[in-house]
Amino acid sequence: MAQLRQDGYEVVEQFYEPDALGAALRDFDAVIIRSATKIKEPQIDAAKDSRLKLIIRAGVGVDNIAVKYAEAAGITVRNTPRASSNAVAELAMALLFSCARNISIAGHTMREGKWEKKAYSKGFELAGKTLGVIGYGRIGQLVGAKAQALGMRVLSVVHRNKPEGVESESMRFVSMDELLAQSDVICLCAPAGEKPLVDAQSIEKMRDGVVIINVSRGANVDEGALLEALNAGKVRAAGLDVWLSEKDPNWALAQHPAVSCTPHIGAGTKEAQKRIGAELVDIVEHFGT
């Protein structure tokens, strides 16, 4: 924001309740939001035919914005997809390491004054394992590359445009059923769809003892089904950074001993935030030129 002010822009940093947000947007030419703020049809209706011409999501996903509805009203929607990709990919790998070596629960028990070496010395190595990445966009490709560097075999599914030049002896595209059946670890990097990618039906198709990592959207996981699978031992462990409800997450799932979790901090590095800021400035300054 400091750079925009320095460049002569009037910048207002203000929180608005959802029912007041739409009317407030009429006073601005552009608005920058994070994941918690939603600009949907009611807010866009209230802001129509006003100064507002640009909505920027400071981050990757734009599921908190009614994009097509906004664009039909003459409002451009942009995001910053490149800035935080590496930070999210690194967190995915951190969660995977934690699940593989019981780091979260082992550290928790040590803080309780317990020495549980025997209980948590039954981890597994990542080298030689198969990682299924659902969503092979910017983040998914970075996760895949890091996993291959660790000696893992990577599988993914093509939904839209197939990335060029990424297939190799250690990475190939397969059907969803093949990915579910062959993966030791499944990492979700896809946008939210109409139904969860991980639900009771898809879990049934997975290997016994699978590990599930989600750094995409909370709606991609049926949290109840995942909790049942963890309790049953079908799913060995889960690493979760995103939740269906971030104001009131599924605490039973978050507190499960086989879950390593974080409160949606995927983009939370100083490097990523610096890149996001630079990308926001670039979008604002070049909009309409």
Q: Is 204 a catalytic residue?
A: no
Which residues, listed in sequence order, are joined to residue 131 by a DSSP beta bridge?
154, 185
Residue 17 falls in the annotated catalytic set: no
How is residue 112 written in tokens?
A: 């309780």
| Strands of the 30-33 sheet, one edge to the other | 30-33, 54-57, 76-79
> So what's the pLDDT on residue 289?
44
How far is it, in rounded angstroms, from Cα 210 to Cα 229? 10
Name which of 173, 90, 76 is nearest 132 in CA terms: 173
Which residues in the chain belong to E strands, given as ranges?
Answer: 30-33, 54-57, 76-79, 130-134, 153-156, 171-173, 185-188, 210-214, 235-240, 259-261
Residue 219 has which token pair? 């709606």
pLDDT confidence of residue 164 = 87
CA-wise closest residue to 54 among 87, 95, 9: 9
Rounded CA separation 59/35 (Å): 8
- The two three-digit tokens of residue 211, written as one number: 């590990």
Q: What is the pLDDT of residues 219-236, one digit of tens each?
A: 999 999 999 999 999 999
pLDDT at 3: 82
Write the CB contacts of 161 (distance below 8 Å, at least 6 apart in sequence): none
**Ranges of H-type helices in 102-173:** 103-111, 138-149
Distance CA 204, CA 263 (A): 27
How confident is the model at residue 62, as a pLDDT? 87
Q: In this structure, which amino acid lies at residue 45?
A: D
| Catalytic entry in 236, 264, 275, 279 | 264
* Residue whose C-alpha is closest to residue 155's, from 127, 124, 187: 187
Task: Give residue 44's pLDDT.
Answer: 96
Of the residues 71, 167, 246, 271, which is catalytic? Answer: 246
Q: Which one-letter amino acid corresponds to residue 217? A: R
Of the candidates 240, 250, 247, the residue with the CA atom closest to the CA atom of residue 98: 240
Catalytic-labelled residue, pool 78, 138, 207, 217: 217
Q: How far apart, in whole angstroms, are the C-alpha atoms of residue 197 and residue 133?
A: 12
Is residue 194 flagged as an active site residue? no
Please answer whether residues 133 and 156 qualify as being in contact, where contact means their C-beta atoms are separated by less than 8 angstroms.
Answer: yes
DSSP label at 236? E
The residues of the chain scoring below 50 in pLDDT are: 289
